[in-house]
Amino acid sequence: MRFLLIPVLGLAPGLLWLWLIYRGNKNRPEPKGLVIRTFVFGMVATIPVSIIETALILPFIFAHIHDLQNYVTYGFNNMSFAQTAYMSFVVAGFTEELSKFLVVRLSIYKSPYYDEPIDGLVYSSAAALGFASLENAGYLISYGWQTALIRAPLTTLAHVTFSALWGYPLAQKKLKKKNSTVVLWLGLLGAMVGHGLFDFLAFQENGTLNNWPVLVASVVFFGCLIAFFVFLIRRGQKNSPFNGMNAGLRIACPNCQAHIPDYASFCPSCGVKLPENRDGIPQYCGKCGAALNKDAGFCTSCGSRIIKKSGSDNEHRRRKIQ
């Protein structure tokens, strides 16, 4: 039973956040397969990062090799200021944010589907949530499901907000926006620093400092990150080149091959009555005329949302479509 809880509690929070973020991309949603693939790549990246992080903390381990078990149990809660900063900003912040960035940059970045600002948030979130999900599974195995219930929802969302700092400008760079390269590197640096600060405050909550000021600082910092992420989501929707692009679904008349609205009962060109069953009849975008696959939600040529028959002819005529 415990082994069934590991994938459920480890993956469920990340998949939930990913589903909510995916739904935020309303203008032209990404192919689900590409989003899931990026999520899996994020999970895979956890393995080499764990090896690198272990190598980076070897000096601490070797320094306490004579009492290793006691150090692993209590040592990380009694680190000096410099040690805590190193663990937070270098071991965690630098390596983890760089790995998530490379997952997106080396995989989905060159895809033709990566074509609007909000895509940067969707795919950076997918990589971050995949990374955080496998990380949470490891905590679940080590510390039990109680720890995972408290840690998983917060840390997965934290990973998303850090990655948004470089995810959004990475999409801007793909779109060749002015000064996007500089903003991207500043965003990646900001993600590393923000991630490190988040971990640093978490370490201090268990340390010798007064917990209340640290707790308040953590809540304020985390709240600001979430607010900034929501701001980026809304900005991405507003600045999408596909914002407001709608097109009616058109079909080819079986008799004269004219492109006519899908809701028509008769062809306005040749007057032939159209069959009720229209399976197999070619479909086209009403905006650019590109051929569409059956049940397509968006035109792969111009990016318009395809509006299909969903009521009376008069309702369709009132739609602002071409």
Core vs surface per residue 256-291: b (16+ CB within 10 A) or e = eeeebbbbeeebeeeeeebeeeeeeeebbbbbeeee
13 closest CA partner among 119, 135, 99: 135
Sign of CA dihedral 158, 163, 169, 171: negative
On the question of pLDDT at 309 being above 80, the answer is: no
pLDDT reported for residue 67: 54
| Long-range contact pairs involving 1-7 (C-beta distance under 8 Å, separation at least 24) | 2/145, 5/140, 5/145, 6/137, 6/140, 6/141, 7/137
Concatenated DSSP letters of 144-197: -HHHHHHHHHHHHHHHHHHHHHHHHHHHHHHTT-TTHHHHHHHHHHHHHHHHHH
Q: Are 239 and 299 in contact (CB under 8 A)?
A: no
pLDDT at 316: 41
Find out whether 22 and 30 touch, Cβ atoms under 8 Å: yes
How confident is the model at residue 170, as a pLDDT?
96
Burial category of 3 from C-beta neighbours within 10 Å (exposed 0-12, middle 13-18, buried 19 and up): exposed
Give the tens place of pLDDT for each residue, 178-198.
Answer: 999 999 999 999 999 999 998
- In the chain, % of residues over pLDDT 90: 31
Which residue in this structure is represented by tokens 């992080």? Answer: 53
Residue 279 has pLDDT above 70, yes or no: yes
**Which conformational region is residue 303 in: left (phi greater than 0), alpha (psi within -120 to 50 degrees), or beta?**
left
Q: How many angstroms from the chain centroid is the CA of residue 169?
A: 14
In this prediction the pTM is 0.75
